[in-house]
Amino acid sequence: MTTYHARMLDASTSGEGLYPFEGPADLMAKTADEIVNAFFAHVEDQILSSHADWEINGIMKNKERGVVTAIGSLIPERGDIPLPFLLMISVN
């Protein structure tokens, strides 16, 4: 397993979080969607301890830098107002 780092920014509150998570050594070789899904699986299991919905509005992978960037909304619980976010995932 390899440690990856996800930085999530919340535009409405200026909140920022850094979330290390474990994944397979070849995670960054996977598609951008699979990488983001691996992070949100960690969020549900280790941070929220429950299922959360999210919507990805845009995602890109910079292979040269080893960074995945996604924008979207997180919905922690049914009925909650969606929380817009910017997410960056890297191995460093």
Domain coordinates in residue numbering, the chain? 2-90
pLDDT digits (tens, 9 = 90+) for 26-84: 999 999 999 999 998 888 888 776 777 889 999 999 999 999 999 999 887 788 888 89
Q: Quote the CA–CA distance of 90 and 32 in Å, as a whole number.
A: 11
Structural element, H or E, at residue 41: helix 32-42
Assign 12 a pLDDT band (cuts: 50, 70, 90).
confident
Distance of CA 24 to the CA centre of its chain: 16
The predicted model scores a pTM of 0.86
Query: 38, 35, 27, 43: which is closest to 69 by C-alpha?
Result: 35
Query: 39, 41, 74: which is closest to 56 by C-alpha?
Result: 74
Do you know the residue count of the chain? 92
